[in-house]
Chain A
Amino acid sequence: AQSVTQLGSHVSVSEGALVLLRCNYSSSVPPYLFWYVQYPNQGLQLLLKYTTGATLVKGINGFEAEFKKSETSFHLTKPSAHMSDAAEYFCAVSGGGGSNYKLTFGKGTLLTVNP
Chain B
Amino acid sequence: DAGVIQSPRHEVTEMGQEVTLRCKPISGHNSLFWYRQTMMRGLELLIYFNNNVPIDDSGMPEDRFSAKMPNASFSTLKIQPSEPRDSAVYFCASRKQGTGGAWETQYFGPGTRLLVL
B42, B55, B103: the one contacting A51 at CB < 8 Å is: B103
Number of A-B contacts (CB under 8 A): 55
| CB neighbours of A103 from chain B (8 A) | 45, 106
A72 to B43, CA, bound (A): 21
A73-115 vs B, CB cutoff 8 Å, 1 = contact: the mask equals 0000000000000000010001110011111011110000000
Q: Are B109 and A43 in contact (CB under 8 A)?
A: yes
User: From residue A65, how far is it (CB to closest CB) to chain B in Å?
Assistant: 15
Of A42, A46, A101, A105, the contact of B50 (CB 8 Å cutoff): A101
Tell me the smallest distance from the CB of B93 to a CB of chain A, in Å: 8
- Interface residues of B toward A: which range? 20 to 34
Q: Residue A18 at the B interface, CB < 8 A?
A: no
Asked if B108 lies at the interface with its beta carbon under 8 angstroms from chain A, I say yes
Q: Give chain A's interface residue range (CB within 8 Å of chain B).
A: 20 to 34
Closest B residue by C-beta to A104? B45
Are the C-beta atoms of B42 and A101 separated by less than 8 Å? no
**5 A/B residue pairs, CB under 8 Å, sorted by A:** A32-B102, A43-B91, A46-B106, A100-B102, A101-B50
A interface list, Cβ under 8 A from B: 32, 34, 36, 41-46, 49, 51, 90, 94-96, 99-103, 105-108
